[in-house]
Structure 1
Amino acid sequence: MGYKIYFYLLLGLFLICTSCSTRQYQVLFQQKNALSDSSYQNTDTVAEYKIKAQDVLQVRNLQDTKLLVNNNPSPALNTSVLASGAASTSEQDFKVDDDGTVILPAIGRIKVAGYTRIEAQKLVEEAYRKNVLVNPIIELKIVSLKVTMLGEIRGQGNFPLIKDHTSLIEMIGAAGGITEKADETNIKIIRGTKKNPKVIVVDLGNIQSVNDPKTILQNGDIIYIAQNKRATRNDNYQSFTTTIFQPALLLFNTALIIFTLIRH
């Protein structure tokens, strides 16, 4: 009788163990059919970003900030306080309207959509030279551009692309660097439109990746850094220990106690 009870207890233990499932570690952006990045092969130059509607520009005159800045920027100040010549040393942001124009103090609307940052900067500078300022030196930045960092990176989230030709290495540095679990040979840059995304795989273990034009980041890029195989194995082992082995061991010990009590 005692052996039958022991057998049924072991059978129950086996069924419980086989019904459990280990935690699944899914790697983001996996694709059964790898997307081709051939359009980025043999590229010696990087296409300059062209300003679009809803972009936010930061404009200032490096010689005289009175007409272009305000201590507490807000959309309502773009054509009122700023036009009156409020003095400050901070930058002022201006949003590009749907028609591709931006309203700037003292010169009004000027079309900037479709132009690169440098081209728009020259246009604004020329407009101020003709109508308002003497020998202005205009600095124009596009402050609404960003990339997203995910995975084994110390600082996840959205990061602005303030500087032209920001590289993957520079952005990883700005995010605090990769973690000890990161797979530096498998860094993915997801780029393109929702209908036509492309995945660019970068191997930072290869020194040539530093000068690869594909690693120059573009607005909207998603950078995903996967776990290395060792970290994945360790996590899977810990998951197995926590979800299956420890409960099974507890149940087995309980079964032995019950069996011992029954025999006595």
Structure 2
Amino acid sequence: MQKAKKVALLIILIVLSSCVSKKNITYFQFDTIDQSKVSNSYKTILKPDDILQISVSAINLEATKPFNLPVVSFSSSSGNPNGSPQQQTYLIDSDGYIDFPVIGSLKIGGLTRQEAVKLIKSKLDPDYIKKPTVNIRIVNYSITILGDVKNPGTYTIPNERITILEAIGLAGDLKITGKRNTVKVFREIGGKKTQFNVDLRSNKIFTSPVYYLQQNDLVYVDPNKASSQDAAFNRNTGLFISIGSILLSLINILTR
């Protein structure tokens, strides 16, 4: 009878548990890196809902003032400004336009940063400012990492340049139960959400179109089957114990 009980317990343990193979968790374990396809260049594409900070400078500082409008909040009681002035920001609307001082409506959605800078310069020089310097920064540049990682969340990226590996590092890496072979990246392209699948076990990740993430990209890591089963087990622990007790009782009766 004791032997039968041990066999039953072993069967239950096998059903409720599984082991994780090393080949499923090790990064960069197969495929060679095709150096001809590796590119270290990255261009930021401006998109709708980006909030931009645009600064204009030149030798004639007085001429740049209309294009560097400060934002100031005023006290309702005294009418005096509160705090230090902040630089004006510009929201790219759904059609890709911003409303820039003096010049008016500019379509910069879909342009790279360099192209947007060139466009604004062409509008300023020579009618308003000679040889202006234009700088554009995305204030709300962020990426989101969800799923089976240690620290899921939305992360602001100050330098506007991040790889998927750096993003995973920000999130504290995948948990041991995270699926390395089907990491999903969701990106908006032409107004439509597009899904990319990345295999972290392969060196092909270095030539993936989503190796460099873009603003508002969503990275999602699926839990593996064992983790999903474990979650179900935790929710139904009492049920499993009851089933185990019934099995043991049946074996006990049948082996008498």
Structure 2: segments with no counterpart, 5+ residues: 1-15, 17-35, 74-80, 250-256
Q: Supply the distance in 2 between the matched residues of 1:97 and 1:194 (Cα, whole angstroms).
A: 14
Name the aligned partner's letter for residue 217 of structure 1.
L
Q: Supply the distance in 2 between the matched residues of 1:100 and 1:196 (Cα, whole angstroms).
A: 15
Question: What is the CA-CA distance between 1:140 and the residue it aligns to?
Answer: 1.0
1:166 matched to which residue of 2?
A: 162
**Conservation of the 8 A alpha-carbon contact between 1:143 and 1:161:** no
1:58 matched to which residue of 2?
A: 53
Q: TM-score, normalised by structure 2?
A: 0.56
2:68 matched to which residue of 1?
A: 68
Highest RCO, 1 vs 2 (Cα 8 Å, sep ≥ 6): 2
The Cα offsets for residues 6-53 of structure 1, whole Å up to 9 and x where unpaired, read as xxxxxxxxxxxxxxxx9xxxxxxxxxxxxxxxxxxx977799665455
1:110 matched to 2:89? The reply is no
* C-alpha spacing 1:239/1:146, structure 2 compared with 1 (3 Å): same
1:200 matched to 2:200? The reply is no
The Cα offsets for residues 97-130 of structure 1, whole Å up to 9 and x where unpaired, read as 4664422335444332442222111222343443
Q: Rg larger in 1 or in 2?
A: 1
Q: Supply the distance in 1 between the matched residues of 2:191 and 2:54 (Cα, whole angstroms).
A: 34
Identity %: 23
1:181 matched to 2:163? The reply is no
* RMSD, aligned CA: 4.4
SS at match of 2:181: strand
Q: Supply the distance in 1 between the matched residues of 2:135 and 2:191 (Cα, whole angstroms).
A: 35
Q: Supply the distance in 1 between the matched residues of 2:229 and 2:92 (Cα, whole angstroms).
A: 49
Question: What is the CA-CA distance between 1:225 and the residue it aligns to?
Answer: 0.6
Q: Supply the distance in 2 between the matched residues of 1:194 and 1:58 (Cα, whole angstroms).
A: 23
SS at match of 2:179: strand
Q: Supply the distance in 2 between the matched residues of 1:170 and 1:163 (Cα, whole angstroms).
A: 13
